Amino acid sequence: MVPVVIHMLIPAENPARAGQALNILLVTENPTDRSFTAPVTFWGSLGGPWRPLLTEEREFPARSHPHLYFTIPARCLTSAFWEGQEVEELALAAGETAPGPGENGVLVFFE
């Protein structure tokens, strides 16, 4: 897999509205001389295991610094999606795989 560097994940709202879609800006970089398309996966955690929320294919031109916009679906921000757990604060991360131990992501609060 060609490396995508993720510099920043910025939620459009914080606090966000529970049960409504959430727009995200992802600041990335392709430091290579090769253009490619790769999946970007967003992960969420309410303090337990990380769960995939959204995966979309995106283009990464050679030697570029793309700012990418995504929308986390409203269904992923409900207690039904989280098996009855109330969504009050959600850690968000982006990457090929779920964050490892000690990786916290960006905390989004909900009202």
Its domain, for residue 37, covers 5-109
Q: What is the rounded distance in angstroms from the CA atom of residue 70 to the CA atom of residue 73?
A: 9
Domain count, the chain: 1
Model confidence pLDDT, tens digit, residues 47-79: 999 999 999 999 999 999 999 999 999 999 999
CATH number at residue 64: 2.60.40.10
Mean pLDDT calculated for residue range 2-24: 92
**What confidence tier does 102 reach under pLDDT thresholds 50, 70, 90?**
confident
Q: What sign results for the dihedral spanned by CA atoms 84, 88, 94, 100?
A: negative
Q: How far is CA 3 from the centre of its chain?
A: 17
Strand partners, 80: none
Q: What is the pLDDT of residues 43-55, one digit of tens each?
A: 999 999 999 999 9
